[in-house]
Amino acid sequence: MTKKSPWHIVALFAVCGMGTSLSVSAVMSCIVYYKFIFGNSFFVYINVAIFAPMLPMAILQAKWDTEFDILYGTITAFSFRGIISFVIGIVVTSCLPLVKSQIAFCCMCSLLGFVSAILVGTMNQLTSFTSSCGRNQAGFLFGSQASGLVVLALSFLSDFGRSQSSRGQVVYYLTVAAMTSLALLAFIYLICITKLGKSAAIRRDYQLSGSRNLESYLVEPQPDQSIRESLLKGDEEEDRVQNRASLKSYQTLFKKSRGCCWCIMVSVGSNIAMSAWFGQVASSITVLPQILFFTRVFMDALGRPASLLCSPSSIRTLAIVAGLRLVFVPIFFLVASDNKFPGYGNSNLLIILVAIIAFFSGYVTTSSYQLATRQLAPEEASSLTKQASLLNIAFALSAIIGVLFTLALQELKG
């Protein structure tokens, strides 16, 4: 029976998830303000700037992360990637009120997208080997979307982002930076201090080392006695089995994970495409784009824990859900943009469509990460982070396809 991850650990993953996307959500939620400042079409370019770095970063992480983990150790390598990325994100977010030109702003957004991609990849890898129950994945992915709800509260408190006024901008972004700093502390506590984080990291280092005896491996360096005992208690035979198998190739992992990759691409790509089009929605309600953004964030976040309450029985079932959800996407674009389509510009219909698409996007994406780990046999556990990197590539590729689709649609529309 799979051991359940403690809820306080799940909460830490959720806080870290918020930190990975808080700055990006803060920028994208201010769609009304930047629409006034830079023009209607600029929101699509912001999406391109944020999501463009994701694919190259996902590929680089897939190629090099495991090598660095073996060379420097899991805790050191993960801490370095996480801490540096969080710090860069905090500094860039604090500087955003100073940026006035479109090009400079896009460059800053690209930098935020760059560090966000590293953090998302790192956290997805971390959830893959700390527990196989699915709670950590759901907690992290919930937090990555729930950051938008935090941004919503900050928008109201600072009175920034809902109009063309820049009042409250400095307070807004500095508060976001401060809250990201709290997520950084949660990350450090999770991987460097909690018993689960340290023991999972030591076990992974042992699996990657190829050592045949866990007790001799733990002699140097000597971990905390409680961690050492928990690692040795009844688990050595399992670890020996896992060490008999070498790291699987990406080709082998893709064969086992392609169904999950397809579900992620269908879900994330269409969700990103829809979100990037909010700035082009035809409506007399000025704040409708922001309403749609927060509707997407709330329903997407709600769909993440739903994967724990109603977990799909198989990849086939999940693929059917992903396919049915896809039907609503072209309807959204028609209602938002085609004046000949029945219901054109209907705000209530747009909100309902966004809610449906976003909820099942969150559900399908989270379920895909959970189901993917179950496709590997126990002796393939050392390949969990490589599989997570593969899923990250699918996620990043779908995001790029989504924003490029919206950009092409915008050019065709003129």
pLDDT, tens digit (0-9, with 9 covering 90-100), for 22-67: 999 999 988 888 888 888 778 888 989 999 999 999 999 888 888 8
- Say how many residues make up the chain: 414
- Written as one letter, the residue type at 117 is A
pLDDT, tens digit (0-9, with 9 covering 90-100), for 164-208: 888 899 999 999 999 999 999 999 999 888 888 888 888 777 777
Query: What domains can you pick out in the chain, each with its CATH number?
Result: 7-193+245-413 (1.20.1250.20)
Give the separation between CA 163 and CA 81, rounded to whole angstroms: 37
**pTM for the structure as a whole:** 0.82
Report whether pLDDT(244) > 60.
Answer: no
Average pLDDT over residues 217-236: 49
CA neighbours within 13 Å on the CB side: how many for 175? Answer: 19
Give the separation between CA 28 and CA 322, rounded to whole angstroms: 25
Give the separation between CA 83 and CA 104, rounded to whole angstroms: 25
Average pLDDT over residues 247-263: 87
The pLDDT score that the predictor gives to residue 318 is 94
Give the separation between CA 358 and CA 101, rounded to whole angstroms: 32
Residues contacting 233, CB < 8 A, separation 6+? none
Number of CB atoms found within 10 A of residue 182's CB: 13
Nearest-5° angle of CA 70, CA 74, CA 75? 145
